[in-house]
Structure formats: C-alpha cells, structure tokens
Amino acid sequence: RNGIYPLMNFAVSRPLALPRALSQPQEDPQKAKTPTPEPFDVETRKVVQMQCSMELDQDRSQWHLTLLLILEDRLHRQLSYDLLPTDNSKDLATELVHYGFIHE
C-alpha cells in the first residue's frame, strides 16, 4: 500500500555471514595465469546495413571514424575510432573481424 517502505521493517540489522563451506576457495596464482591468450568470440550474424561517417576533430588534427552496423537480427552496433595516419581500411576490417565485432 505504501510502496517499499513496509519492507524496511524487516531488514536485518547486520549482514548475514556465509558459512565457510559455501565460500569460494582462493585460486592458485600459478593456475590463474595462462600462457596463451583467451580466444575471442566469433560473430555469426551478418551485417545487413552499414553507415560510415568520418569527421575531423575540433582542432582539425585527427579524423574520427564512426560505423553504424545493423545486423541480421536488427541489432544496432555503433563503433567509434580515432584514426591514426598509419591506419588503412584492410587492417581495420581485419581487426573488427578478429575481435568479433563483425562477421568475416
């Protein structure tokens, strides 16, 4: 009747402690470090529509790239990137596929 305020009367005055059997054991530091990098997820949805825009930033020293991607399931994905003078389109596309942002 009065929102959540009546529930405040039932609050526990001190937090409940978990029994030791239910607490998570500490990980071994040797096992936590893996020598190989974790694999990235592969994007399985295809891009059905793409919009690209490039703008110079305010001090006109660097280009800013914005990609708007619409995937098969109508998910919208917007990606932004400050371009470097050494960047090229092939390397950028390869990097997007590698990190799972777009389907190969």
Half-sphere exposure in the Cβ direction for 26 (13 Å, CA): 3
How far is the C-alpha of 32 from the C-alpha of 41, rounded, in Å? Answer: 21
* pLDDT interval class at 15 (50, 70, 90): low
Per-residue pLDDT at 68: 93
User: pLDDT band for position 90 (50/70/90)?
Assistant: very high
Closest by CA position to 93, among listed 63, 52, 36 = 52
The residue ranges of every structural domain in the chain are 47-99
Dump pLDDT digits (tens) for 17-43: 555 554 455 555 555 565 666 666 778
Instruction: Kindly report the pTM of this predicted structure.
Output: 0.54
Model confidence pLDDT, tens digit, residues 46-89 = 889 999 999 998 888 888 999 998 989 999 989 898 988 899 98
User: Cβ neighbours of residue 66 under 8 Å, at least 6 residues apart?
Assistant: 52, 53, 54, 55, 78, 79, 80, 81
